[in-house]
Amino acid sequence: MNFNEAKDKLSKYGQEHVLKYYNELSQEQQEMLTTQIAGTDFSVTANVTGGIKETPRGKITPIKAMTLPEIEANREEFTKTGIETIRAGKAGAVLLAGGMGTRLGSANPKGMYDIGITKPVYIFQRIIRNLLDVVDMAGTWIHLFIMTSDKNHDTTVAFFKENNYFTYNPGYIHFFKQDMAPAATYQGKVYMEDKYKIATSPNGNGGWYSSMKNAGITDFIHKTGIEWLNVFAVDNVLQRIADPCFIGAVIHKNCSAGAKVVRKADPDEKVGVMCLEDGRPSIVEYYEQTEQLRNTKDENGEPAYNFGVILNYLFKESDLEEICNNELPLHIVEKKIPYMDENGAFINPEEPNGYKFETLILDMIHMLDTCLPFEVERNKEFAPIKNKTGIDSIESARKLLEENGITL
């Protein structure tokens, strides 16, 4: 993209300030900037200038989950189907590790965090160990796709290499970078990080499939014959990945997707719950859960919206192509955005100073016809690390790991 083309594109979105220092830049920097302009979707900023519009929700009704007793009664059969699927090379796993982990506050990618006490135990190491349990059980390697971002890609790749991929087969690990979105002021003007660089951040965990596609990974998936993708978050250190019983259950129920869910610890727990929205599977985020929704009971007198998602989903890959072509709702999130001020000084703000634009994986569920909520025991499968201390922290995860017999 040349200067004039860049200028035209920017003026369409009222972002001409991006080129303010163009004439002072070296040729290399000028090229970096125009390349970034060419690859950036500025249309997201229009969502700010036009005011944030919330999409109204449809009619919310309860969804039936597959609960522990039903799973136990069929465990053998589901597991057999899952193992057969894995052995046939039809299941892959996608690790979402593109996030910034701001709440944990470490300069390194979250997966590099050492949660050990007497020895180093890295989050990535725990995840690979959990996947190796299934590899050992099935007697076959499982392709693992790791999503990073521009901000943490090189560090993440180097870390896996240094640690010999935690004994995983490197031929089955594939890194890909997530697409980035510009960050903007409250008035919708994109922030600059430097005179030749627009401030960007990863475009949210809903960006995983389109980013995979843009990185050419879906071609590999089609060629290899992978049909199911188990997508999971980096920060749950008890995460069961490519769980054969889960895969088997979703296949037996003939669903497009499955979501691992836990019973809510209490009505106010901050987790999104599964439901039907206008008859289609959906998730109500914790901040959208009304008093009435929290108090609704099912025919057995149990809370009707009681199954929280833990960011562990199984998707039938062929059904995702369509979602990718439809637009996912855009979430506008207020965040602290490091930026360059009018005098060219770099500022690391203490308070939120603008918006980031994200799509969320949970919105993908609503676009599918069917999704099986699959209950798991929270103390065995849910130890998220979001904060250093308190709820969902290093402390709480360590306790749960020890409860599960893992030496730290």
Which stretches of the chain bind ligand UTP, using CB under 6 A?
96-103, 110, 147, 178, 202-205, 233-235, 311, 386
- In whole angstroms, the minimum distance from the beta carbon of 233 to ligand UTP comes to 3
- In whole angstroms, the minimum distance from the beta carbon of 205 to ligand UTP comes to 4
Give the residue with the Cβ less far from ligand UTP, 204 or 248.
204
Give the residue with the Cβ less far from ligand UTP, 110 or 153.
110
Give the residue with the Cβ less far from ligand UTP, 229 or 251.
229
- In whole angstroms, the minimum distance from the beta carbon of 180 to ligand UTP comes to 9
- In whole angstroms, the minimum distance from the beta carbon of 302 to ligand UTP comes to 28
- In whole angstroms, the minimum distance from the beta carbon of 15 to ligand UTP comes to 22
Give the residue with the Cβ less far from ligand UTP, 82 or 202.
202
- In whole angstroms, the minimum distance from the beta carbon of 176 to ligand UTP comes to 11
- In whole angstroms, the minimum distance from the beta carbon of 220 to ligand UTP comes to 19
- In whole angstroms, the minimum distance from the beta carbon of 299 to ligand UTP comes to 34
Do 44 and 219 touch, CB atoms closer than 8 A? no
Give the residue with the Cβ less far from ligand UTP, 102 or 224.
102
∠ at Cα 144 (200, 310), nearest 5°? 70
- In whole angstroms, the minimum distance from the beta carbon of 364 to ligand UTP comes to 13
Give the residue with the Cβ less far from ligand UTP, 234 or 249.
234
Give the residue with the Cβ less far from ligand UTP, 189 or 386.
386
Shortest CA distance to 178 belongs to which of 302, 94, 282?
Answer: 94
- In whole angstroms, the minimum distance from the beta carbon of 112 to ligand UTP comes to 12
Do 29 and 195 touch, CB atoms closer than 8 A? yes
Q: What are phi and psi of 373, to 5 degrees?
A: -75, 120
Give the residue at shortest CB distance from ligand UTP: 99
Give all strands (DSSP E) within 173-306, no chain letters.
Answer: 173-177, 180-182, 192-194, 197-198, 200-202, 228-233, 257-263, 273-277, 280-284
Residues 235 and 244: their CA atoms lie apart, in Å, by 21
Give the residue with the Cβ less far from ligand UTP, 34 or 230.
230
What tokens were used for 53? 């519009």
Residues 315 and 319: their CA atoms lie apart, in Å, by 8
As a 3-state breakdown, the chain gives helix, strand, coil percent values, each rounded to 5, of: 40, 25, 40
Residues 352 and 338: their CA atoms lie apart, in Å, by 10
- In whole angstroms, the minimum distance from the beta carbon of 41 to ligand UTP comes to 14
Give the residue with the Cβ less far from ligand UTP, 7 or 103.
103
Give the residue with the Cβ less far from ligand UTP, 32 or 100.
100
Q: What are phi and psi of 200, to 5 degrees?
A: -130, 165
- Cα 123 to its chain centre, rounded Å, is 16
DSSP string, 308-357: EEEEEEEEEGGGHHHHHHSPPPPEEEEE---EE-TTS-EE--SS--EEEE
3-class secondary structure, 273: strand
Beta-strand pair 273-277/60-61: antiparallel
Residues 33 and 203: their CA atoms lie apart, in Å, by 19
Give the residue with the Cβ less far from ligand UTP, 386 or 398.
386
CA count, 13 A, side-chain hemisphere, 275 = 25
Do 198 and 184 touch, CB atoms closer than 8 A? no
